[in-house]
Copies of this chain bind each other. A is one copy, B any other.
Amino acid sequence: MNIAIIGLGLMGGSLALSLKKLPFVNSIVGSDHNKEHQKVAIELSLVDKIVSLEEIKTCDVIFLAIPVNGVIAILKTFNNIPKETTIIDLGSTKELIISSVPSSIRKNFVASHPMTGTENFGPSAAVENLYKDKVVVLCNLEDSGEVQQQTSKKIFKALQMKKYFMRASEHDRHAAFISHMPHAISYSIANTVMKQENKHNILALAAGGFRSMSRLAKSSPHMWEDIFKQNKENLLEAIELFEDELTTLKNDIINENWDNVSDTMNQGKTLHDILD
């Protein structure tokens, strides 16, 4: 199997590191619009070589590991590709991408979202085992061709990922709660502190808790702007439900309803009965 990866950052680069080890993978080529990323990807041996978009279209499997608006744009250029070719995107939103796929390549296309990542980005952020034992969501898979369904399942199985199948609309709403809203909050926490006059003194005291809560604010603004655009309505709903929760807690603190404050924290804590 000859594989191409468009976008050699954290997700694409890490994917290359994992795919390289699979017995059924013959070659991995790549492309990236950033010349420096191309250079680093070769230096780190993430891919065998950097190739043109035309050459990419001759591969058996093409991964799209670029920001979600880029996925929509590039899919529009994929005409005249062989019937058996599989195109898999890794974007954090799914509904708008799926509705934007040209009908001529709809069967070639598989919409996936690997629930993994770190706050770092670029090819130097690539790490082995980023995908292993993680969840991958496959959306509207019945609309992909039979070959493409089998190929994508084979690859994600070989990457030792846990597959979840769902509708794109369901995925996007879930992702807003689990990922997109928390990112918005993390950026807002960071800005709250950065606007304090004595931010250096405040941050000198930062321990693990604050690092956890501000870590996501390291993420790529370019990538997240696209995600917020594509999942706007679900994101806003999740933010507003969160705001309601925080307002309730705040008002209980203002009014010194400490029993309510305690109940609220005890309720929140039950999340970890499910999560852990």
Contact = CB atoms under 8 A, between A and B. Distances in A.
A261 interface: yes
A208 interface: yes
A255 to B, nearest CB: 11
A86 to B, nearest CB: 23
Contact of A178 (B206, B241, B243): B206
A173 to B, nearest CB: 8
Interface string A227-270: 01100100110111111011101100110101001101111111
A137 B202 CA distance: 12
B242 A250 contact: no
Contact of A213 (B186, B204, B229, B265): B186
Given A212-B213, A213-B216, A214-B275, A178 B194 contact: no
A272 interface: yes
A11 to B, nearest CB: 12
Interface string A149-192: 00000000000000010000010001101110111111111111
Given A185-B213, A264-B187, A164 B269 contact: no
A215 interface: yes
A115 interface: yes
